[in-house]
Amino acid sequence: MSAELARLADPEELGGPAVEAALLASGWSGERRNPSKSWATTWRRDGARAWVQGEGPVEVEFTLWFQEVEDDRPDSDTYLDDLYAAAAKIPEVVSQLRSGILGERLEEPEGEVADADSYVEHHAWRVMGKELLVGVEQDDTGTPVRLVVVLRKPGTVDDAAGEWL
């Protein structure tokens, strides 16, 4: 993952064609295309998934781990166990990123990154004018818990919303 992120952090403009080229060069398989885009928007490699969202500057989200929430749990609050299990994996991913190709270029952000409150737990950096975030998210108690790595232009979260096709 560190090599992909290094390729994606280098271009000044994080655009769909640049993301597609970087993922193809790293052995990812494009799975689905939004008819309005010239690049694949969903990708898969070795059990990991990636989504490209947005138009101009895009957001790239890599899902490293996910756990389905089981409907038959006796206590609806037990889904928190899945959240904490995923959050326990964040230090490992952070360590790998710090020791990888981007390690020396990772800078702690000044203040909070955009939409940080939508993550159960996270760690974020700035790298080459972009935000890099490792976090655990769950959109709703009935949706899977995910450990994700997100690369995006700062402040473009609302621009990318709803572009998961």
Average pLDDT, rounded, for the chain: 82
CB 19 within 8 A of CB 58: yes
Per-residue pLDDT, 157? 46
Confidence tier at 96 by pLDDT (50, 70, 90): very high
Alpha carbon distance 39, 32 (integer Å): 9
Alpha carbon distance 25, 119 (integer Å): 30
Task: Between 36 and 132, name the one with better pLDDT.
Answer: 132
Per-residue pLDDT, 29? 94
Q: Give mean pLDDT, residues 86-96.
A: 91
Per-residue pLDDT, 141? 64
Q: Using the predicted structure, report yes or no on whether residue 12 has a pLDDT greater than 50.
A: yes
Contacts of 5 (CB under 8 A, 6+ apart): 97, 100, 101, 102, 127, 132, 149, 151
pLDDT tens track for 62-86: 998 877 766 555 565 666 777 788 8
Per-residue pLDDT, 163? 35
Q: Please tell me the total number of residues recorded for the chain in this structure.
A: 165
Q: How many CB atoms lie within 10 A of CB 152?
A: 25
pLDDT tens track for 49-63: 999 998 878 999 999
Q: Give mean pLDDT, residues 91-110.
A: 91
Provide the token pair at 18: 């640049």
